[in-house]
Amino acid sequence: MKDERIVLALKSVAPGTPLREGLEQILRAKTGGLIVIGDTAKIMEVVEGGFAINTDYSPAYLYELAKMDGAIILSEDGKKILYANAQLIPDPAIPSAETGIRHRTAERVAKQTNALVIAISQRRSVITLYQGNFKYSLSEVSVILNKANQAIATLEKYRAVLDKTLMRLTNLEFDDMVTLLDVAKALQRVEMVLRIEREIERYIWELGSEGRLISMQLEELIANVEDEGLLIIQDYSLLGPEKTPEGILGLIRTWSSEDLLDYSLIVRALGYPGSASILDQPVSPRGYRILDKIPRLPVTVIDNLVQTFGNLKSIMGASIEELDDVEGIGEIRARSIKDGLKRLREQTNFTL
Ligand SMILES: Nc1ncnc2c1ncn2[C@@H]1O[C@H](COP(=O)(O)OP(=O)(O)OP(=O)(O)O)[C@@H](O)[C@H]1O
């Protein structure tokens, strides 16, 4: 929830938005500014004086009004300028680490009302966002682009390692030689890639219209990653249906980077005991992840296969007739499952 609001705040001031255009004009004119987004009762409690404007927002108008002292109040959707030249009177007891009056006021109003408050510094040429306890200074587009490109380069490396790890897991699964350590390694690598993805997403929101290329690169690099993670969990989790794969991956997401390095924590999240030797334990996949790679095989049929045979090894060992007996599978599909599994196995042997 908290994160969502920050994302919304970053999006609302991203390059290409009318609000950002107005902020940039104020920055260039070096007049400074203090802008509050929203006019809820809670916000209006701290607003005093000024005059009602009540007109459609435009960047040029915002910039004109910023020449005056005091704060400007915009509507929640940013489409109207409601008041200008207003005095903000937040509770002075609210702690603030800011030294200047404008920024201290902005921080206190944000903490008191939860509104998005934007301070544009006259002396330092910086735009700072405040919302609740969150504070964020916008950087220049070139700086963020640089960071985003570095993160993409890191993501490429991590993706390559993940692909190797998954390929190895597939190979071990076909040979029924998987240990819990292999499962934990694969899940850890999935989450590492997802973490870099989330970091880059934040840059993309902040870059707005300037982030399109990064966004396209990201999409290509993270295709399937989350699904692979969910399917691994489906293959190995010992937990009942109340712990969904999404829930388990969501739990791993909340861990610190140190915890993520601990393989035994990962297998514990899948419902295995946390003993030291557990990682050497052999395990057999149910087969969800590999069956998902067979073209045109519906999820319900995959479910029926796993329900009937229990694991990938038995599914691979089943005859055409046995496969044919499963609901949703006729002779043609039975053959395409057999062929599909055979082809996948050959492909992984070839790639490794
Ligand atoms: N309570 C307030 N309500 C509305 N506007 C305020 C309030 N406090 C300060 N301001 C605005 O901030 C200006 C003074 O900013 P000041 O230089 O003291 O703060 P600052 O945080 O150091 O900002 P800057 O970095 O721009 O100098 C005032 O001229 C006024 O426009």
Give the model confidence (pLDDT) of 320-339 as tens digits.
Answer: 999 999 999 999 999 999 99
Biggest CA-to-CA distance, the chain: 83
For 203-235, what is each residue's pLDDT tens digit? Answer: 999 999 999 999 999 999 999 999 999 999 999
For 93-117, what is each residue's pLDDT tens digit? Answer: 999 999 999 999 999 999 999 999 9
Predicted local confidence at residue 348, as pLDDT = 85
In contact, 137 and 107? CB cutoff 8 Å: no
Mean per-residue pLDDT, 232-251: 96
- Amino acid, single-letter form, for residue 37: I
Q: Is 308 exposed, middle or buried (0-12, 13-18, 19+ CB in 10 A)?
A: middle
Expressed in angstroms and rounded, the spacing between residue 345 Cα and the centre of ligand 1 is 68
Task: Give the side-chain half-sphere CA count within 13 A for 5.
Answer: 17
Is the pLDDT confidence value at 68 over 60?
yes
For 7-45, what is each residue's pLDDT tens digit? Answer: 889 999 999 999 999 999 999 999 999 999 999 999 999
Protein residue with least CA distance to atom 22, ligand 1: 100
Which residues are bridge partners to 80 per DSSP?
56
Neighbours of 79 (CB within 10 A): 11
Is the pLDDT confidence value at 2 over 80?
no
Domains (range + CATH), the chain: 1-138 (3.40.1700.10), 143-278 (1.20.1260.110), 288-350 (1.10.150.20)
User: Closest Cα to residue 182, out of 162, 168, 164?
Assistant: 168
Contacts of 9 (CB under 8 A, 6+ apart): 116, 129, 131, 134, 136
Phi-psi region of 271 (alpha: psi -120 to 50; beta: other; left: phi over 0): left
Predicted local confidence at residue 4, as pLDDT = 80
Predicted local confidence at residue 351, as pLDDT = 66
Question: 89 phi and psi, to 5 degrees?
Answer: -125, 75
Average pLDDT score, the chain: 95
Expressed in angstroms and rounded, the spacing between residue 103 Cα and the centre of ligand 1 is 7
Is the pLDDT confidence value at 1 over 70?
no
278 annotated as a binding-site residue: no
pLDDT > 90: what percent of the chain?
93
Verify whether ligand 1 is closer than 6 Å to residue 38 (CB atom): no
3-class SS of residue 219: helix
User: Closest Cα to residue 229, out of 199, 200, 194, 254?
Assistant: 194
Give the pLDDT band of residue 352 (cuts 50, 70, 90).
low
State the Cα–Cα distance between residues 298 and 291, nearest whole angstrom.
10
